[in-house]
């Protein structure tokens, strides 16, 4: 919830207008046929694709990391556009299914392998479900009647910044009897809920920053939430992941996926990956999932520790030597076996003597103009995207170009 200091007249007006706009859209969407709402969402997604370039780049970056070893760049670029259109359809469809009567939920969602859940509940106190930001994931809060009888249903949620809209959304999610937990709730309370036979859903596929646990995800080293594993092992509960794929316009299919014991974060993320691979176009790729959280005070060694990615999934970085003194070199604490550095230099700049000769060298025709296009061209020369740039006293133009391309820039003295 927003802090009390944010409860100003301006914010209250803004929150009220947001609530009004959302309510109007939801009301109209609830009246229209689900197939039409889905089509309208596709149009919205296509518009975002055309006019929000930073999201285009993030979607393509995620797809390149996840699937570059399966598809070539032109195919991934087509997939990126199709993903944006599908995401618009799925998100907009959530405004339709939110007001759908409980008796009609079975018209928009089906379950492929219900027996896997029933089997898991026979051998477990409770059940931790791992849905993903995939398909119309909001509709999952409406499928309580599709779970085996005799089990309470719960879910973790992140409170919205708008308290008025948050109150409405929470009420909707609890309409069909779900018990909602936020990050402020005691984990002992959640564990008890599971030990009493509860089923709780935790969306754990998105990035979590530095506090996450180091794991491989689609072969790339990153960090993930340890919460599902912690809850499952404390309560001695089983774990299943879920995929949610689009079958037809405004209709989705759930499929459960087994999670291998001992249900640590590595096993949980492997099962989530398995679910996402069922339908990559249905996945919400608009968040920079593999963002590298580094800055001049937090090095790549601290971020990656001693881990490494799978073969062909290493991190890719640019060492920006254009304009740097001949004597300046990459500090030792910024070296890591999982990072491959490519060198960027001015066209007439001499190679530093400390280079091994094995590095990829990129020459700049002009160090101050066209930086965004230059970096973009370098980025697309390899199958994997550039993860971050290191420069000495980076110029404002370089900082702006990197920021526009959603690439992390670290400026060192």
- Structural domain spans, the chain: 4-282, 300-412
Sheet holding 238-248, edge to edge: 109-111, 251-258, 238-248, 127-130, 199-201, 153-156, 179-181
Contact 373, 25 (CB under 8 A): no
Q: How many CB atoms lie within 10 A of CB 52?
A: 13
pTM score over 0.85: yes
Whether 178 and 145 have beta carbons less than 8 Å apart is answered as no
SS3 181: strand
Give, for all 413 residues of the chain, the pLDDT tens digit: 444 447 799 999 999 999 999 999 999 999 999 999 999 999 999 999 999 999 999 999 999 999 999 999 999 999 999 999 999 999 999 999 999 998 999 999 999 999 999 999 998 889 999 999 999 999 998 999 999 998 999 998 888 889 999 998 888 877 778 888 887 788 899 999 999 999 999 999 999 999 899 999 999 999 999 999 999 999 999 999 999 999 999 999 999 999 999 999 999 999 999 999 999 999 999 999 999 999 999 999 999 999 999 999 999 999 999 989 989 999 999 999 999 999 999 998 999 999 999 999 999 987 566 899 999 999 999 999 999 999 999 999 999 999 999 999 999 99
Burial group, residue 386, by CB count within 10 angstroms (0-12, 13-18, 19+): buried
Distance CA 114, CA 374 (A): 51
Neighbours of 172 (CB within 10 A): 16
140, 202 contact by CB (below 8 A): no
The rounded distance, in Å, linking the Cα atoms of 240 and 116 is 9
Helix boundaries (H) for 32-52: 34-51
Instruction: List the CATH code of the domain at 300-412.
Output: 3.40.50
Distance CA 156, CA 190 (A): 10
The C-alpha atoms of residue 323 and residue 307 are separated, in whole angstroms, by 33
Exposure string over 302-324, b if 16+ CB within 10 A, otherwise e: ebbeeeebeeebbbbbbbbbbbb
């Amino acid at each position: 919830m927003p802090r009390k200091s944010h409860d100003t007249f301006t914010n209250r007006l803004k929150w009220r207008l947001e609530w009004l706009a959302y309510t109007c859209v939801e009301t109209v969407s609830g009246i229209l046929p689900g197939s039409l709402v889905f089509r309208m969402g596709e149009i919205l997604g296509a518009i975002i694709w055309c006019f929000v370039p930073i999201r285009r780049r993030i979607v393509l970056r995620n797809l390149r990391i996840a699937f570059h070893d399966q598809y070539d760049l032109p195919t991934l670029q087509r997939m990126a556009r199709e993903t944006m259109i599908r995401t618009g359809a799925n998100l907009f469809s959530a405004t339709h299914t939110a007001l759908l009567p409980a008796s009609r939920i079975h018209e928009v969602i089906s379950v492929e392998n219900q027996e896997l859940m029933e089997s898991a509940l026979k051998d477990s106190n409770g059940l931790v479900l791992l849905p993903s930001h995939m398909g119309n994931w909001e509709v999952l809060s409406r499928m309580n009647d599709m779970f085996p009888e005799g089990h309470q249903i719960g879910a973790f949620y992140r409170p919205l910044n708008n308290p008025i809209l948050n109150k409405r959304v929470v009420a909707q999610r609890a309409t069909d009897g779900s018990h909602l937990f936020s990050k402020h709730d005691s984990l002992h309370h959640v564990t008890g809920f599971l030990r009493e036979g509860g089923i709780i859903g935790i969306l754990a596929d998105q990035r979590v920053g530095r506090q996450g646990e180091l794991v491989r995800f689609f072969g790339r080293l990153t960090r993930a939430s340890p919460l599902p594993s912690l809850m499952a092992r404390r309560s001695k509960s089983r774990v299943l992941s879920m995929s949610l794929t689009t079958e037809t316009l405004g209709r989705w299919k759930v499929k459960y996926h087994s999670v291998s014991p001992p249900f640590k974060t590595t096993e949980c993320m492997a099962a989530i990956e398995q679910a996402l691979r069922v339908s990559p176009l249905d996945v919400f790729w608009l968040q920079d999932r593999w963002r590298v959280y580094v800055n001049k005070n937090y090095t790549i060694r601290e971020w990656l520790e001693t881990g490494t990615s799978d073969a062909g999934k290493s991190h890719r970085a640019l060492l920006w030597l254009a304009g740097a003194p001949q004597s300046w070199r990459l500090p030792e604490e910024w070296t890591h076996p999982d990072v491959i550095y490519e060198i960027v230099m001015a066209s007439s700049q001499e190679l530093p003597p400390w280079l091994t000769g094995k590095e990829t060298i990129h020459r700049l025709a002009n160090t101050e103009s066209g930086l965004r296009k230059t970096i973009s061209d370098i980025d697309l020369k390899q199958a994997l995207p550039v993860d971050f740039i290191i420069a000495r006293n980076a110029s404002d133009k370089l900082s702006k170009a990197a920021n526009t391309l959603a690439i992390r820039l670290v400026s060192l003295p």
